[in-house]
């Protein structure tokens, strides 16, 4: 639980000022010792993709060198997925 709380806090800090109205949801999960950050965007906007790269860079800067993480960008208007126990929504806009 302590590791999860730390990772959520670091991701929130990295996202400060970077989230635009195009961001629908950001989810953090841990899959076999790799932290996965999924960004759900409404549209494929180049500026938002650049913001995501900055978020990941900042998030990694808060970590020690042993952190393994990856990010995924999912674009569309489909229904947002529900969560399993291994996922945490760090951001979700009102829809």
Domain boundaries, the chain: 2-92
Residue 9 has a pLDDT of: 95
Across the range 5-31, mean pLDDT stands at 95
Instruction: Please compute the mean of the pLDDT values over residues 12-37 and round it to a whole number.
Output: 95
> What confidence tens digit (pLDDT) does each residue in 53-95 have?
999 999 999 987 788 999 999 999 999 988 777 789 999 999 8
C-alpha distances in Å from residue 79, one per residue of 46, 50, 57: 23, 24, 28
pLDDT score at 85 = 72
Residues in CB range of 34: below 8 A, 6 or more apart: 68, 69, 70
The pLDDT tens digits for 31-54 are 888 999 999 999 999 999 999 999
pLDDT for the residue 59:
94
Rg of the Cα trace of the chain?
A: 13
How many residues are listed for the chain in this entry? 95
2-92: CATH number: 3.30.300
pTM of the entire structure? 0.92
Structure confidence at residue 32 (pLDDT): 86
């Amino acid at each position: 639980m302590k590791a999860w709380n730390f990772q959520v806090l670091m991701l929130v800090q990295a996202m400060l000022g970077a989230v635009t109205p195009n961001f629908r949801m950001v989810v953090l999960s841990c899959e076999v010792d790799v932290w996965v950050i999924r960004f759900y965007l409404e549209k494929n906007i180049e500026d938002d993709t650049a913001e995501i790269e900055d978020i990941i860079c900042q998030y990694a800067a808060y970590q020690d060198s042993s952190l393994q993480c990856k990010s995924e960008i999912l674009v569309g208007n489909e229904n947002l997925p529900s969560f399993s126990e291994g996922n945490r929504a760090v951001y979700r806009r009102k829809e």
